[in-house]
Chains A and B, each alone.
Chain A
Amino acid sequence: MNRPYLKPMGMRKTRRIQDSLFWIILSIFLVFFLFIFFWMFISSFKPNLLIVSDPPVWFFTPTLAHYGEVFERNPFARYLFNSLTIAVSSVGLSLIVGLPAAYSIAKYKQDGLALALLVVRMLPGITFLVPLFIVYKRLGLLDTHAGIVITHILTVLPLIMWVMIGFFEDVPSELLDAALIDGCSQLGTMIRIMIPLSLPGITAVAILSFISSWNNFIFVLILGGSKTMTLPLAVYNFLTYGQVNWGALCAAATVVTLPVLLLALVVQRFLAGGLTMGAIKG
């Protein structure tokens, strides 16, 4: 049907001009939005003398010295471990608690609970931080992994529930009714039908909430310390303590950002859906 060779000459030409124009504009956008990552990445391999040169140097012999500084002179491996364990545990716990609740809100149309959830999602973390700080200090939870995981649940749980309500609502109710008629229990329909059918959504939300926990800064800034130092806080300390070493800073920033960027690229199929689901629905 759409055979370009059947179209008159002029139309084909404008089409090609339009196409190349489109790609040019798109490339400008991409450079605009992604330049910072490129700059961070190449600066992390640049010898210190060249980093501060003006005009900037684009070609150089890469060095691993900055990564050496990050991993050898600072316990970045431990910070990495902290970030990872805190993110995985808070996401795991929130999934266990949040999925049934999200299912219930979607299935039984518990709009009151949904509204409460929306309010919770809107509030900034600092609303809860003063009391938590006092309570933690009394209970000895400051600078403990358990304490930090609990606070991360504060942001991760509402996120998981909010996005999953939308996904659960999308599963056609006929499937559930069919399972019920076949003698499946209510709980059984959730575990055997709803959860498997929503697996792409669950993957998406798990990754999104992993990223949100990984990126979190303010909780560990206030309630954490040297034992629970996560990567974002470590990067921040790089900036504030001692003289600023740009190369090492770029290397540290790369170490924090790269896992998230790679994760986003690997699961790109689910990502856009997960990000917009919470906004468009509900």
Chain B
Amino acid sequence: MFFFGKKESEIIKTFMKHLDAVEETLLAFRDFMSMYLDGEGDFEALAEKAVEAESKADRLRRSTETMMYSGAFLPNFRGDLLGLIESVDVIADRAETVVRLVNLQKTEFPDDIKEDVKEQVKISIKTYRALKKAIKTMFEDMDESAKCIVETEKLEHEEDELEWRLIRRLFSLDVDRAVKLEVRELIGLIGDIADLSEDASDRVEIILLKRRV
């Protein structure tokens, strides 16, 4: 960060904290899902933890944005960066939504697909981590960032395949149709975490492309 001014370095630091808070939300979500699917442990507490982490991410997003309005970075980049921060923030929102819905609806996941759902959660988080790395490296090493973008896209594709396999399996099972529809909606929302990570990585890609001469 040597070449950035003090204001810029401060913003990047807060943005990195925001990325960490989003990851924290995702990890709480992962633990919650795992405990919930296994049917043991205090998953309510983990739901609480996910909600708290999401609020923390929100606060950090707001303070990053407020700092940016004070005139840090070149204006062209400022707009791109604001868009990127927003697009990362919705990832935490989506994880929180899944946690709240599952906890509220007490969804009955069929035993046959529980392991696959855990796997889906894992890949989604992996996709986010690739995005996180793309953003972290973006400021200092654009080539490395470009590699992470490719990785994000690859993982998102993997998740997508798994998601459709999972839905196909779900609808082949002999369970109540209402349960099928409820679970399918949740699978879609979990898949959103990978999709949204990929969307955010597209924004990073645009930032990099704009700087190509």
| B partners with A | no
Which residues of B pack against A, CB within 8 Å? none
Which residues of A pack against B, CB within 8 Å? none
